[in-house]
Amino acid sequence: MTKLDVSLVVEEQWQSIREALIEANVDIHQELDETLLSNYSPHSEIPINLMSVFSFMDLIVPKLTSEQFQYVALTSARKNAVNAIKMMEFDECTTVKQALISYCRQCTHIMTDTTLTIGSFAGSSWFMCARPYSEQPRYPLTESYGLFLYRELIAQFSGTEWKPSQLALRNFNAQHIDDATCLPCPVVYLGQEFYGFKVEDEVLQLPLKLRPYTSTESVFKNTDVNFSLALTYVVLAHLGEDVVTLKKLSKITQLSTRTIQRRLEEAGTNFTSLYDKIILDEAKRLLVSSKQKVSDISYHLGYSNPSAFTRFFKLKKGLTPKQYRTHHIKKH
């Protein structure tokens, strides 16, 4: 396995962060001058000074709005996820899990103070990033960027719009986490020895896709993705906006309703069955992991009448949502 050029990786990451800051309308000239990064040229033979980048981030992070913070973390992470796929070798990998393990190994000599692993936590498989905690201003952005980057890698590897439902943070608060990072109302473990997220075994076992997916449309135009699972994450991403109908999915995926139905039939299901399963699974997760009222959960899942949600849930589980929540709390 060919080792990565460390200086090239650092340069790619710096350029993507700088571009994201400019796109977010952040004035960075003073901070560049103070850290001497204004003298840096991408074409220079001298590699970029990582400590200068850290100093720059410590200066720039406090002046970011929450919107700019999230934009910079998300945009730069997406670019660097694609860059990582292009720069690394995954020839012998056939599943998402194998690709993630390979990614962790290839990163070991770059991130000298960080260990990346696929391990076990809270009874499930997790992607873990263990690195020293810091009180420096850059740390929340680093953690947010890392979560975006690793989540984007899994989405790229799996050909889905995957998002985690459980997070672990080194930080002792989750103020830098929003809905772009994960599914709504995640389980969040604060102050851990690592940051990362739970990855479902069904996602880890998916066949590896190495084609860069830049939009929902490009995912669904390819016939080799796990269609029903990819569609599941699209539905989850749009819950709470409105009722996710077949017509709405057609518009999102740029596929005809008939094509969606046909590909679901090929996967051994249909839209009604898949949608019911998504709603039921998400309802169970929210009832257990959040303190939201049942009525609020029902609205999030697209029900205009909470009683209709209660009838649906009881039909499927034999318990009302409140009974299910109470039973689970007593059980655990």
DSSP string, 93-145: --BHHHHHHHHHHHHTTT-TT-EEEEEEETTEEEEEEE-----STHHHHHHHH
* Strands of the 124-130 sheet, one edge to the other: 115-121, 124-130, 195-198, 166-168, 187-189
Distance CA 273, CA 186 (A): 25
Average pLDDT, stretch 63-85?
Answer: 92
Give the best-scoring range by mean pLDDT among 111-115, 174-178, 280-284: 280-284
Q: Is residue 103 part of a domain?
A: yes
Radius of gyration in angstroms for the set of CA atoms belonging to the chain, rounded to a whole number: 21
Nearest to 178 by CA among 190, 167, 192: 167
HSE at residue 218, side-chain half, CA atoms within 13 A, is 10
Distance CA 82, CA 213 (A): 9
Q: Is residue 1 part of a domain?
A: no
Percent of the chain past pLDDT 70, that is, above it, reads 94
Residues 33 and 132 in one domain: yes
Residue 3 has pLDDT above 60, yes or no: no
Distance CA 61, CA 80 (A): 19
The model's pLDDT over 8-51, given as tens digits with 9 standing for 90+, comes to 778 888 999 999 999 999 999 999 999 989 888 766 677 788 88
pLDDT band for position 139 (cuts 50, 70, 90): very high
Residues 169 and 142 in one domain: yes
Distance CA 290, CA 280 (A): 15
Residue 152 neighbours by CB distance under 10 Å: 21
Select the more confidently predicted residue: 209 or 145: 145
* pTM for the model: 0.85
**Domain end residue (candidates: 144, 179, 204):** 204
Euclidean distance between the first and final Cα of the chain, in Å?
A: 46
State both tokens at 141: 């952005």
Q: Is residue 111 part of a domain?
A: yes
pLDDT band for position 313 (cuts 50, 70, 90): very high
Average pLDDT, stretch 252-273?
Answer: 93
pLDDT band for position 211 (cuts 50, 70, 90): low
Residue 194 has pLDDT above 70, yes or no: yes
pLDDT band for position 183 (cuts 50, 70, 90): confident
- The pLDDT value recorded for residue 213 is 63
Residues 197 and 230 in one domain: no
Distance CA 245, CA 139 (A): 40
**Domain end residue (candidates: 152, 174, 204):** 204
> By residue range, what is the domain housing residue 239?
216-331
Residues 237 and 170 in one domain: no
Residue 232 has pLDDT above 50, yes or no: yes
Residues 199 and 239 in one domain: no
Domain count, the chain: 2
Q: For the chain, give the mean pLDDT.
A: 89
Residues 166 and 57 in one domain: yes
Residues 155 and 277 in one domain: no
Distance CA 153, CA 253 (A): 20
